[in-house]
Amino acid sequence: MTSARMAVSTLAAYELALDVGERVLLADFTQTFGASELWCVAGPNGAGKTTLLSTLAGLVPPARGRVALDGVPIGDWQPGELAKRRALMPQNVHDAFSATVFDIVLLNRFPYLGGWGWETERDRAAAHAALDALALAQLAARDVRSLSGGERQRVALAATLCQDAPLLLLDEPLAHLDLRHQIDCLTLLAHWARESPRTVIFSCHDLNLARRFATHALLMPGDGTAQAGPVRDVLTPELASRAFGYPLVLIEADGHEALVPALRRPEMESPKP
């Protein structure tokens, strides 16, 4: 999906801090996320990945520091204009009412509606393009409440793409997807970021898929620290082992690499007789 209207966005965090109660998840974090970059946010459960994405989207205020989009503090944007510049896919989607898949995707064109709020042919074309990109065209007329978890997840991603924003924030977009669809979605996002160009930031638990597709990574152990940079400089055995609290090793075969858990944790080794 491309748009002649699209302008590049720059997202930046300055001395950002995230707290939950007395616990500091992230402290003094400064980073710029640029165009054509595909960022993976990785870390253990409870490390603050969702909180970070919500903060970057402007939905949750940081404990300290600030977030700016195109040089403007995220809180100073008018909601309608902000929705044209950044799109957020939440981790959980709840369908309270029946609606077709097409209508669910079309809802994300709301920032562009004017006058009486009727959709134009351009809006409908954007919805069809998003469905085609996720191989969902055959489901367009289905009731969204009849879909499987994986199908519903792809619909949520299609709706986010349909918003046509230069900055995309995705919270666990690969959840509920089988391996084939995980790879299809990441292939699409990598192409979408590179060719438009746009910025994509997604959270993910699969470090090997992240190493294969992402250009950059942000590793959050949840203790206030963070590592950020090119993906293979950040998702290393040493840094990932420390963040996840379990030893990982890097194996290589036929030109491919994979991070895998060590056979046993050192403290679990049987004592010598």
Tell whether 137 is covered by a domain. yes
pLDDT band at 75 (very low <50, low <70, confident <90, very high): very high
C-alpha 265/C-alpha 168 separation (Å) is 37
C-alpha 188/C-alpha 63 separation (Å) is 34
| DSSP letter string, 192-206 | HHHHTT-EEEEE-S-
C-alpha 27/C-alpha 234 separation (Å) is 18
C-alpha 238/C-alpha 123 separation (Å) is 47
Q: What is the pLDDT of residues 76-91, one digit of tens each?
A: 999 999 999 999 999 9
Tell whether 222 is covered by a domain. yes
- The arithmetic mean of pLDDT across residues 3-18, rounded, is 80
C-alpha 188/C-alpha 205 separation (Å) is 18
The residue count of the chain comes to 273
Query: For the sheet containing 23-33, what is the strand order?
Result: 23-33, 11-20, 64-69, 72-73
Backbone angles phi, psi at 263, to 5 degrees: -60, -40
Domain that holds residue 74: 11-235
Tell whether 5 is covered by a domain. no
Q: Mean pLDDT over all residues of the chain?
A: 92
Instruction: List the beta strands (DSSP E) in the chain.
Output: 11-20, 23-33, 38-42, 64-69, 72-73, 86-89, 167-170, 199-203, 216-219, 227-230, 248-253, 256-261
Are the C-beta atoms of residues 53 and 37 closer than 8 Å to each other? Answer: no
Q: What is the pLDDT of residues 215-260, one digit of tens each?
A: 999 999 999 999 999 999 999 999 999 999 999 999 998 888 999 9
- The arithmetic mean of pLDDT across residues 173-200, rounded, is 95
In the predicted structure, residue 70 carries a pLDDT above the cut 60: yes
Tell whether 242 is covered by a domain. no
Structure tokens at 271: 């004592």
Alpha carbon 205 to chain centroid, angstroms = 11
Tell whether 91 is covered by a domain. yes
Tell whether 161 is covered by a domain. yes
Residue 66 pairs in a beta bridge with 14
pLDDT band at 7 (very low <50, low <70, confident <90, very high): low
CATH of the domain at 61: 3.40.50.300
In the predicted structure, residue 8 carries a pLDDT above the cut 90: no
Tell whether 29 is covered by a domain. yes
Backbone angles phi, psi at 178, to 5 degrees: -75, 170
- In the 8-state DSSP scheme, what is residue 163? T
Torsion of CA 186, 93, 217, 130, to 10 degrees: 30
The pLDDT score that the predictor gives to residue 265 is 62
Tell whether 257 is covered by a domain. no
Element (H, E) at 21: none
Q: What is the pLDDT of residues 128-173, one digit of tens each?
A: 999 999 999 999 999 999 999 999 999 999 999 999 999 999 999 9
What is the domain count for the chain? 1
Report percent pLDDT > 90 for the chain.
85
The pLDDT score that the predictor gives to residue 152 is 96
The pLDDT score that the predictor gives to residue 93 is 83
In the predicted structure, residue 37 carries a pLDDT above the cut 50: yes
Q: Which residues, 6+ apart, have CB-to-CB distance to 121 below 8 Å?
A: none
